[in-house]
Structure 1
Amino acid sequence: MTPPPSRRRRTGARDTAPAHNLLRRGAVRRAQVITTYGVGSLIAVDHESFIVSGLDDADGSWNHREAPRIHERRLERLLEVDHFRLPPASDEDSTDGLRVRRFPLMHSCPECNELQRHRDFAPPPGRSVCGTCEKELVPSRFVVACEAGHLDEFPYWQWVHRSTDRGSGVSGKCGGRLMMRTSGRTSSLRSIIVSCTCGKVPEVSMEGSFRRSALKDLGLTCRGTRPWLGGTVPAETCGRPLRTLQRGSSSVWQPVVKSALSIPPWSSGRADPLAGHWEKLRKYDDRKQIESYLDAVFDEPWPLSLDDVLTLLAAEREEEAEGEAAPSFDHRYRALRNKEYERLRAGNDDSEHTRNEEFVCESPLGDGRVLEPLGVTGPMLVKKLREVRALKAFTRLVDAESTSDATEVPLSAKPLRWLPAMEVRGEGVFLRLDEERLGLWEKTEAVARRAERMRRAHQRILDQRASDPTRAVLSPASPRMVLLHTLAHVLINEWSLDAGYPAASLRERLYADDAMAGLLVYTATSDSEGSLGGLVAQGEPDRLAETLRSALRRAEWCSADPLCLEAEASGTSGANLAACHACVMLPETSCEHNNVLLDRALLVGTPDDPALGYFEHVARH
């Protein structure tokens, strides 16, 4: 997706333009800075290409009015930061915010066919055109990257001169100039021809440049370059194998995003004034010591009473992962989800909601027993919620969710005590499955066998993507996880048809392990589709029961049946079974698991084995 071109700057009442220190190059939405165009990613603006700069200078360039601080203590503790910051707003009068650097530097001219660095074309200031032909320059379509997250220019000179000077790593010594043209015969890499005017080597095509061993065969390894950090930051020692990538490939940049719901007692914002002090306060167990610390740091009156501080500290200790002296990040993240599940089950009906309360979860007015015949229990109306999504790091080539030792690339050269984040305010519906009935169903041999088939296929993917297969994370696929995941998808699809919500404006949040069996469907956008009460109204038991029956009847068939229902494997590397874009798949912004681990058969069964479906008795009647 290409961001919109920069808008023309309007002049003020006195015909003065807003002050900008740097030339403005387009605009992106705040949410895109977390999910699409974050630090280290490549961004196309008109005919130019840039890489989003690191955060080392962001404290100076991110105006605090345009990029305010936000807090979510539970997520701050998990990610070991003091606060988060919203990405800078992009308005007509905004100052320098999200900074970018030109990358790749190699460009070609479609008129004279020269291939060289951008500055060597001698373009006029502020423009990206050939100084001789005055044609728009074309950024290199190809870059190289390694699994450690480094990014570099494609080695065109070595590629052309591979027959004469393999692996020398010295470019330009032949005295010639590189040229690039397109033969126009096909749309394949074979039609992209690179040559050198030295006349010592024949012209070559780009065919074969994407082979895993293509650059290794030239004796080239990663130089450890990090262009998003600027020229003053030295390259790291690396030497890993390089892979050729298309500039716009999703493998060039993948975000590592972590999120949390704001739940009591942290959801009222009263703890925010103590941000940055909690780690020190946690060291004290004695009431007098905490009182002395508050006296030393704050003038009277304190931002919070001593009892409030003790209550918050107790809540924080209660959420700590159990069972390990030094719990891993995954254990701590699961503990965070467990506490959300408990709060969603309990709600806060009896609490006195203050004006600043960000979490309001209440039991529906209707009789929830109408859902019991469906195998669903505990519906809750989340009338108000806040989710904070933080960009922790990013990866290249390696999917960060698929391996326990994925190389996560930090967003800055020096450690920072904050991360960029966005917040979503909206509403949602939470429901659980009947534990007793679910326990009997998931022990059925046919159900367990079908889920195991998906688990093995998914585990193969995780093993292949892991840099060390022996340390790959285990697949979360289980009968209840696949069931909850597929149920969330059919509910989102049903509400998009019946309640007028676009599927992309709804999002799932799954709570599935041995002690949890619930799902939250909530509004994923904060605009006019976010919090108008329409989704909460769908959670009243009578309406929810009707929605479930309709969604399950719709899930019984697919326009791709019988191929879809009878598929032995579908989706990415066979990680799905009866699931396709015509039935249960969603926009990827709505799905926590990238549309894998889905199976309609575990919802409604199959014609040959109806008992496979948890909701078989509902779908058939």
Structure 2
Amino acid sequence: MTPPPARRRRPGASGAAPARSFPRRGAVRRAQAITTYGVGSLIAVDHESFIVSGLDDAEESWGAGESPRIHERRLARLLGVSYFRLPPASDDTSRDGIRVRRFPLTHSCPECGDLQRHRDFDPPSGRSVCGVCEADLVPSRFVVACEAGHLGEFPYREWVHRSTDRDAASVGQCGGKLKLRTSGRTSSLRSILVSCTCGRAAEVSMEGSFRRNALRDLGLTCRGTRPWLGSSAEAQECGLALRTLQRGSSTAWQPVLRSALSIPPWSDGRADPLAEHWDKLRAREERQRVADYLDGAFPGGCPIPLDEVMTLLAAERAEDSDGEAEPTFDHRYRALRDKEYERLRAGNDESEHSHDEQFVCEAPLGDPSVLEPLGVTGPMLVKKVREVRALKAFTRLDEPDSKTRVKEMPLSDRTLAWLPAMEVRGEGVFLRLDDTRLATWEKATAVAARVERMRDAHQRRLEQRADDPSLIVPSPATPRMVLLHTLAHVLINEWSLEAGYPSAALRERLYAADDMAGVLVYTATSDSAGSLGGLVAQGEPGTLARNLRSAVRRAEWCSADPLCMETEADGINLAACHACVMLPETSCEHNNNLLDRALLVGTPDDPEVGFFTDALSF
């Protein structure tokens, strides 16, 4: 990870620009560059703080050898790009890496107490120390952000002078120097004291700075600053309310991730050379027009036979949303999931494909009838699976998920033909619930009543977060969705114990709709816990039936019972807590929301609410 280049650089001995050799500021894994330290996020390195730069200069700074292209046509089409790129790897052989910029610029010196911009301390080149005291400078603990995703420096000067003349011009020209000290009496904001040597304002604490309207009361609104894009990005007046945040707060940056499984006919990699041509190919319906375009685009001959190209075009058009002239993002994402569900049900036998096939899904050899008493059907062993996860954008203050519309901040100032992404290769187990039994269960009055409470609470939260009523989307909570979601969680916990996988190494993928009732549990990491065959072995019917019964029996009891099971709070979870069914956030598609183990095992007062209640007697 490196800071951005200086505006002017000295030429080399021959007069040419010298080779880049930027100081290194720490290292991150590729996965972290998507999920934790992506564009616009804040990262602490030793006693310094930086913000990850935007992608406008990444085309040249991300070397092709360290940041190769990856392809997943279905996801690329959904996100409106041609391809994806892996973030540069941070290791001893890295030439450049991910660029960062110093942020926040406001620092304080623990010795002299000065509070000012970093450059005003006149630090020696390459160091972050006070030019007078030689003490390590401390980056500001506080920043400000708005719901549109903008980020800025905390207005210390306005905060100190809030009890005096609030005219912005006079405050900025008071002539004083800001000072910051800690009284040490408590660990609260009351002990962090800021003052100005102008003498016009008394020393004030930071207490109250986190109130929702604290900065609005000072007449301050968002100025639209985007420090991750550098000084070249023009700030546009935003006008939204500013909120004070801790620099390391999780709400200061939340990634907007989208993912897709590689499924036939795209999963053998043969279509990759056509990645940047699909939009033009789709505009050509007739076979001859497609052939003419390929002849012009590939003078030496298209690497893919024309018949395969036509098959791929037909498969792509099959994912178009029916009856939607201009399908929304949600409709197109649903179509993507529909095709995955169909392929997981149909399977893809390894013996019928080449070694390059990235999706192998086969029916188990055992007798699946042992699963019938449990209401489970159609188990499939996913021996090979490739998932591509792309960083689409990011948000601040609002927590994004796949079912809410939030204000997303793009990763660059200009439109790019690619997005950063990572690929995970692993294995998994897919299973479905019996349609007849599921339909009978979800019509039960008690089941519908429990889920209705969760849906109402979730809907209220969505309405509170939406500034525009037209953007409010309905809650996805339905009996089958909550059931499948909770089932996936208890299975992941069970397989973590049974097969030795860390729970954070497993991930769920839910297929819950009127015509879908399936769940895929698969390995979510590419390290040693990735693809060893241990998870696929859990999908054999006999083993799966035993593990299902064990998982459901574990769900009968929680160390927080009876409070956990008998909760009556109007929350978006009912009988669910970190002691029973909640998982690491990397494993869950819905941020540990919409869970209720009572739908698995019932309640002491009404055991029939549980889908698997009858199975507990076996």
CA distance in structure 1 between the aligned counterparts of 2:337 and 2:262, rounded to whole angstroms:
11
Shift in Å at residue 250 of structure 1? 1.3
Q: Which residue of 2 aligns with 1:109?
A: 109
CA distance in structure 2 between the aligned counterparts of 1:323 and 1:406, rounded to whole angstroms:
26
CA distance in structure 2 between the aligned counterparts of 1:391 and 1:351, rounded to whole angstroms:
35
Shift in Å at residue 531 of structure 1? 0.5
Shift in Å at residue 234 of structure 1? 1.1
Q: For residues 409-420 of structure 1, what are the structure 2 equivalents within 5 Å?
A: 409-420=409-420
Residue 501 in structure 1 maps to residue 485 in structure 2: no
Residue 149 in structure 1 maps to residue 146 in structure 2: no
Alignment check: 8 A CA contact 1:193 1:203 kept: yes
Question: Which of 560, 585, 589 lines up with 2:586 in the alignment?
Answer: 589
Alignment check: 8 A CA contact 2:401 2:590 kept: no
Change (3 A) 1:552 1:167: farther
Alignment check: 8 A CA contact 1:380 1:429 kept: yes
Q: Which residue of 2 aligns with 1:602?
A: 599
Q: Which residue of 2 aligns with 1:352?
A: 352
For residues 169-210 of structure 1, give each alpha carbon's deviation from its aligned partner in whole angstroms, at most 9, with x where no partner exists: 665411110000011111111110000011111000001111
CA distance in structure 1 between the aligned counterparts of 2:336 and 2:499, rounded to whole angstroms:
31
Which letter does structure 2 place at the counterpart of 1:27?
Answer: A
CA distance in structure 1 between the aligned counterparts of 2:129 and 2:381, rounded to whole angstroms:
57
CA distance in structure 1 between the aligned counterparts of 2:148 and 2:604, rounded to whole angstroms:
49
Larger deviation: 237-246 or 136-145? Answer: 237-246
Larger deviation: 87-96 or 420-429? Answer: 87-96
For residues 418-475 of structure 1, give each alpha carbon's deviation from its aligned partner in whole angstroms, at most 9, with x where no partner exists: 0000000000000000001000000000000000001111111111122224522211
Alignment check: 8 A CA contact 2:350 2:361 kept: no
Change (3 A) 1:83 1:215: same
CA distance in structure 2 between the aligned counterparts of 1:563 and 1:584, rounded to whole angstroms:
14
Alignment check: 8 A CA contact 1:223 1:236 kept: yes
Shift in Å at residue 58 of structure 1? 0.2
Alignment check: 8 A CA contact 2:403 2:476 kept: no
Q: For residues 435-446 of structure 1, what are the structure 2 equivalents within 5 Å?
A: 435-446=435-446
Q: Which residue of 2 aligns with 1:468?
A: 468
Alignment check: 8 A CA contact 2:404 2:462 kept: no
Q: How many residues align?
A: 603
Which letter does structure 1 place at the counterpart of 2:594?
Answer: L
User: Runs of 5+ in structure 1 lacking a partner?
Assistant: 5-18
CA distance in structure 2 between the aligned counterparts of 1:165 and 1:101, rounded to whole angstroms:
34
Q: Which residue of 2 aligns with 1:482?
A: 482
CA distance in structure 1 between the aligned counterparts of 2:169 and 2:538, rounded to whole angstroms:
63
CA distance in structure 1 between the aligned counterparts of 2:336 and 2:63, rounded to whole angstroms:
32
For residues 318-365 of structure 1, give each alpha carbon's deviation from its aligned partner in whole angstroms, at most 9, with x where no partner exists: 011122110000110010001000000000127622121100000001
For residues 474-501 of structure 1, give each alpha carbon's deviation from its aligned partner in whole angstroms, at most 9, with x where no partner exists: 1110100000000000000000111101
Shift in Å at residue 596 of structure 1? 0.9
Which letter does structure 1 place at the counterpart of 2:78?
Answer: L
Shift in Å at residue 399 of structure 1? 2.6
TM-score for the superposition, normalised by structure 2: 0.96
Shift in Å at residue 393 of structure 1? 0.5
Which letter does structure 1 place at the counterpart of 2:598?
Answer: A
CA distance in structure 2 between the aligned counterparts of 1:367 and 1:72, rounded to whole angstroms:
35
Which letter does structure 2 place at the counterpart of 1:340?
Answer: E
Alignment check: 8 A CA contact 1:405 1:471 kept: yes
CA distance in structure 1 between the aligned counterparts of 2:406 and 2:563, rounded to whole angstroms:
36
Q: Which residue of 2 aligns with 1:231?
A: 231
For residues 278-299 of structure 1, give each alpha carbon's deviation from its aligned partner in whole angstroms, at most 9, with x where no partner exists: 1100111111111111111113
Q: Which residue of 1 aligns with 2:364?
A: 364
Q: Which residue of 2 aligns with 1:514?
A: 514
Question: Which of 578, 599, 611 lines up with 1:614 in the alignment?
Answer: 611
Which letter does structure 2 place at the counterpart of 1:209?
Answer: S
Which letter does structure 2 place at the counterpart of 1:601?
Answer: A
Q: Which residue of 1 aligns with 2:380?
A: 380
Alignment check: 8 A CA contact 1:402 1:473 kept: no
Alignment check: 8 A CA contact 1:495 1:501 kept: yes
Q: Which residue of 1 aligns with 2:249?
A: 249
Q: Which residue of 2 aligns with 1:49?
A: 49
Which letter does structure 1 place at the counterpart of 2:519?
Answer: L
Shift in Å at residue 555 of structure 1? 0.7
Alignment check: 8 A CA contact 2:295 2:301 kept: no
Q: For residues 6-155 of structure 1, what are the structure 2 equivalents within 5 Å?
A: 21-155=21-155
Q: Which residue of 2 aligns with 1:11?
A: none
Alignment check: 8 A CA contact 1:183 1:191 kept: yes
TM-score for the superposition, normalised by structure 1: 0.95
Shift in Å at residue 251 of structure 1? 1.3
Alignment check: 8 A CA contact 2:481 2:512 kept: yes
Q: For residues 537-552 of structure 1, what are the structure 2 equivalents within 5 Å?
A: 537-552=537-552
Partner secondary structure for residue 381 of structure 1: strand
Alignment check: 8 A CA contact 1:605 1:612 kept: yes
Partner secondary structure for residue 431 of structure 1: strand
Alignment check: 8 A CA contact 1:115 1:180 kept: yes
Partner secondary structure for residue 97 of structure 2: coil
Alignment check: 8 A CA contact 1:403 1:465 kept: no
CA distance in structure 1 between the aligned counterparts of 2:402 and 2:550, rounded to whole angstroms:
35
Shift in Å at residue 96 of structure 1? 1.3
Alignment check: 8 A CA contact 1:394 1:410 kept: yes
User: Runs of 5+ in structure 2 lacking a partner?
Assistant: 3-18
Alignment check: 8 A CA contact 1:403 1:467 kept: no
Alignment check: 8 A CA contact 1:403 1:466 kept: no
Residue 328 in structure 1 maps to residue 328 in structure 2: yes
Which letter does structure 2 place at the counterpart of 1:420?
Answer: P
Which letter does structure 1 place at the counterpart of 2:187?
Answer: S
Q: For residues 192-341 of structure 1, what are the structure 2 equivalents within 5 Å?
A: 192-341=192-341
Q: For residues 552-563 of structure 1, what are the structure 2 equivalents within 5 Å?
A: 552-563=552-563
Which letter does structure 2 place at the counterpart of 1:364?
Answer: P
CA distance in structure 2 between the aligned counterparts of 1:545 and 1:384, rounded to whole angstroms:
22
Which letter does structure 1 place at the counterpart of 2:610?
Answer: G
Which letter does structure 2 place at the counterpart of 1:581?
Answer: H
Partner secondary structure for residue 228 of structure 1: helix
Change (3 A) 1:423 1:403: closer
Change (3 A) 1:403 1:204: farther
CA distance in structure 2 between the aligned counterparts of 1:583 and 1:511, rounded to whole angstroms:
23
Alignment check: 8 A CA contact 1:42 1:52 kept: yes
Q: Which residue of 2 aligns with 1:13?
A: none
Q: Which residue of 2 aligns with 1:531?
A: 531
